[in-house]
Structure 1
Amino acid sequence: MKKRVWMLALLLTVTVAAAGCSKEDTKDKQTKPTAEETSATEDTENPEAEEGKETEETKEDEKTTAELMAEIDVEKCVTLGEYKGITVEKNIIPVTDEDVEKEIQTALAMYPVEVEGRAAQEGDTVNINYVGKIDGEEFEGGSDQGADLLLGSGRFIEGFEDGLIGASKGETRTLNLTFPEQYNPELAGKDVEFTVTVNAIKEPLKEPTDEWVAANIEGYYTLDEYKAAIRSEQEETNQQTAEEQLRYSAWTQVVDSCTINEYPESLVEMGKKLYEQQAQMYASLAGMELEDYIKSSNITQEEYDANAEEYGKDVAAQALVNQAICNAEGYAIGDEAYKEALNKMVTEYGQTEEELIEAYGQDNVEQSIMMNRVSTLILDNATIVEKQAEPDKTEE
């Protein structure tokens, strides 16, 4: 749970590219690319550019959020609202007997037991040995020993699982099939012969027993022990979820109570870049170019740009509010409380400070700690009203 709270803070972290509401005259300044972008551009334009060469622009871009925030007139950009003394609800979902039963049923499906005296049917798990051949020759990845396969899961190519329905323990079947056209290019569309031997046929127990628990659930020997552990784990999970939602709700309430007088352009641009990075990630997962992904989402380019702008402003607002509260409370990177938080973070992640910075970056670590301090301050001074939420019935 603690690690997830740190990551919640990281999600709210922003890296400032330049100062918008600057104490200096910035009207002629332009937002510069990141150090990585600058380096890539230089290497492209000049193939003989020396590795590690830095320009003055690159050095400027390497400023941390804290350094750049020092150049922003934060109090000019944001008017703080109420961040102490707020009232916020903490909604905890109770664990029901049905919740425990669902998890048990899932475990029963994962650990089926062998049955005797009948043939395999859909929904059974069969343990099989199989050898696949194309033109009489075995091919890489086409054979296995002692593999469990749930009939009806669709894990294997069409015809494989259906071809085992009705098979008995010890029976060997030959399946003449064809790989789909949309498949591994080396196999797509090819005819294949699988020789499959059924070693065992298994099905989930209708009701769990002490013997089943002892045989399949590590660390537990009776059904009552297992049920108690499930309930305890689910209660802890629900408590964690409630805590995270509490932090989010309190933070949102504080941000909404503040007035953003000016949005630093650089912060907005940073937020827009984060938005685009997320969109690019989803597009890549879908195997699409960003432009095609936008179209598939049934929005126009103009709507996408408007969404990115709104997201950018939200990022800017959160960054400004966090910094304004830090200023008001005298919080600073490197103070004693910061050092304590950093040591705690290092311990919880099981990494050295250097490893932590290597993994997440100096700026992210700094801003994560500062945002977590602000979040804790808000909750320590809030009136928290605990309520029991309605059980989640979305999966019924």
Structure 2
Amino acid sequence: MKKKLTAIALAACLAMTVIGCSNNGNTDNKTATQASGEKSSEASTELTMGEFKGSDYVTKLDYKNLTVAKSAVEVTDDQVKSQVQSALLDANLVEVKDRAIKSGDTANIDYVGKIDGKEFEGGSDKGYDLVIGSGSFIPGFEDGLIGKESGKTVDVKVTFPDPYSGNADLSGKDAVFTVTINSIKVQPEYTDELVASKTDYKTIKEYEQSIKDSLYNSKLQSAISSALIDACTVSGYPESLTAYYKQSVINYYTQMATAYGYESYEAAITAMGYKAEDFIKEQSESAARRTLALRYIEEKENMKAESDAVDQWLEDYAKENNMEVSALKQNNSQDTINDAYLEQQVLDFLKKFVKTTEETETSQAATTASK
């Protein structure tokens, strides 16, 4: 059954396709396959970013006078709460066996959907963790599990919405899902003791402050990236760079289409309200312009990827993201790692100069820069 695909994936797509670039103009060994987390073989024919210098394409970029809107970097209590829920509470669910399903519970289920007694494509899954009341599945499915006990198998009768964007052939049709409830889990009590046992912090206050700081830093870097794209004027793009990002966007939305049950990446993009061809062109050119801007700054500020500094950065990055350094090195070329390091150096450098303004001031500045 298709879950909902929303425009929130746009930000994830841009973050995925945007990768730091080296400052020396050497051929970048990253491929569009590696952008999606896979390591390509030496015989791979996948696209690469190619060899280019930012200064050959950037005609205007006042990178020491960037502005970002206050609203773009503001961290709300709800955002902190959401992070606590996903990173701590949802990650440490506790199984309950003495009661039936309630709204808010996480039910691990196997299900098989049938229309007119026949199974249909995308209507079955096993071991799926469904948060009851989240609206992840079509109307009626989650409500049909409330009050049911773990270990039971039940039939849930539903009607697909009409129209149904996921698959027009299912629009308005009645279906029966045979659902086996494997387990029922709930969030643990949120206490200092839980925080101390599951994180590097001793109290809720310390933990939430760390989340707030992390969210602010992430928002600031994202806002700086957007400001760079707006402020950067280019004479054109290296053909290899736009081709690389075009393929990266297609790869990403092909994966999204599979995960959400769409027939193709075009269908997934269309479901979000965009024309696929225009969307891909816009995203790939934005990512390419950001890469050119980053490389331009690396060149102007004479930034280098010294091996000792890169190794230390990689260790810190792996620790912060619960990864193994060995896995990062296995799945990425040294050029890729160096470029990621340099990108972070540029963003940290720009934080010293960026100004935070009201929304209207930022919009006016972006309009002026684009003229």
Q: Which amino acid aligns with 2:55?
A: E
1:65-104 correspondence runs (5 A): 68-69=50-51, 72-88=52-68, 91-93=73-75, 95=77
> In the alignment, is residue 272 of structure 1 matched against residue 246 of structure 2?
yes
Q: Which amino acid aligns with 2:230?
A: D
1:235 to 193, 199, 209: 209
Do the aligned residues in 2 keep the contact of 1:271 with 1:312 (CA within 8 Å)? yes
2:221 to 223, 226, 247: 247
Q: Which amino acid aligns with 1:275?
A: V
Q: Which amino acid aligns with 2:267?
A: Y
Looking at structure 2, the residues matched to 364 and 236 of structure 1 have their Cα atoms a distance apart, in angstroms, of 28
Equivalent residue number for residue 320 of structure 1: 292
Shift of 1:307: 1.1
Looking at structure 1, the residues matched to 304 and 102 of structure 2 have their Cα atoms a distance apart, in angstroms, of 60
Q: CA 1:326–1:279 in structure 2 vs 1: closer, same or farther (change >3 Å)?
A: same
Q: CA 1:238–1:73 in structure 2 vs 1: closer, same or farther (change >3 Å)?
A: closer
> In the alignment, is residue 333 of structure 1 matched against residue 305 of structure 2?
yes
Do the aligned residues in 1 keep the contact of 2:104 with 2:133 (CA within 8 Å)? no
Looking at structure 2, the residues matched to 355 and 193 of structure 1 have their Cα atoms a distance apart, in angstroms, of 36
Shift of 1:235: 3.5
Do the aligned residues in 1 keep the contact of 2:17 with 2:249 (CA within 8 Å)? no
Equivalent residue number for residue 365 of structure 1: 337
Q: CA 1:15–1:157 in structure 2 vs 1: closer, same or farther (change >3 Å)?
A: same
Q: CA 1:193–1:342 in structure 2 vs 1: closer, same or farther (change >3 Å)?
A: closer
Do the aligned residues in 1 keep the contact of 2:103 with 2:132 (CA within 8 Å)? yes
Shift of 1:366: 2.1
Do the aligned residues in 2 keep the contact of 1:178 with 1:191 (CA within 8 Å)? yes
Do the aligned residues in 1 keep the contact of 2:19 with 2:291 (CA within 8 Å)? yes
Equivalent residue number for residue 376 of structure 1: 348
Q: Which amino acid aligns with 1:78?
A: V
1:66-215 correspondence runs (5 A): 68-69=50-51, 72-88=52-68, 91-93=73-75, 95=77, 123=102, 161=147
Equivalent residue number for residue 306 of structure 1: 278
Q: Gaps spanning 5+ residues in structure 1: where?
A: 1-7, 23-32, 37-51, 127-149, 165-174, 183-187, 195-202, 205-211, 222-227, 387-396
Do the aligned residues in 1 keep the contact of 2:100 with 2:148 (CA within 8 Å)? no
Deviations 1:15-55 (A, max 9, x none): 89xx9xx9xxxxxxxxxx9799xxxxxxxxxxxxxxx895x
Q: Which amino acid aligns with 1:356?
A: L
What SS is found at the alignment partner of 2:62? coil
> In the alignment, is residue 263 of structure 1 matched against residue 237 of structure 2?
yes
Looking at structure 2, the residues matched to 82 and 337 of structure 1 have their Cα atoms a distance apart, in angstroms, of 27
Looking at structure 2, the residues matched to 177 and 249 of structure 1 have their Cα atoms a distance apart, in angstroms, of 48
Do the aligned residues in 2 keep the contact of 1:89 with 1:385 (CA within 8 Å)? yes
Looking at structure 1, the residues matched to 250 and 240 of structure 2 have their Cα atoms a distance apart, in angstroms, of 15
Q: CA 1:64–1:328 in structure 2 vs 1: closer, same or farther (change >3 Å)?
A: farther
Shift of 1:325: 0.8
Looking at structure 1, the residues matched to 218 and 291 of structure 2 have their Cα atoms a distance apart, in angstroms, of 19
Equivalent residue number for residue 108 of structure 2: none
Structure number with bigger Rg:
1
Shift of 1:327: 0.8
Q: Which amino acid aligns with 1:81?
A: L
Q: CA 1:308–1:280 in structure 2 vs 1: closer, same or farther (change >3 Å)?
A: same
Shift of 1:270: 1.2
1:12 to 14, 18, 38: 18
Equivalent residue number for residue 125 of structure 2: none
Shift of 1:345: 3.7
Q: Which amino acid aligns with 2:353?
A: N
Looking at structure 2, the residues matched to 283 and 275 of structure 1 have their Cα atoms a distance apart, in angstroms, of 12
Shift of 1:234: 3.0
Q: Which amino acid aligns with 2:215?
A: T
Equivalent residue number for residue 287 of structure 1: 261
Shift of 1:341: 3.1
Equivalent residue number for residue 127 of structure 2: none
Looking at structure 2, the residues matched to 345 and 193 of structure 1 have their Cα atoms a distance apart, in angstroms, of 40
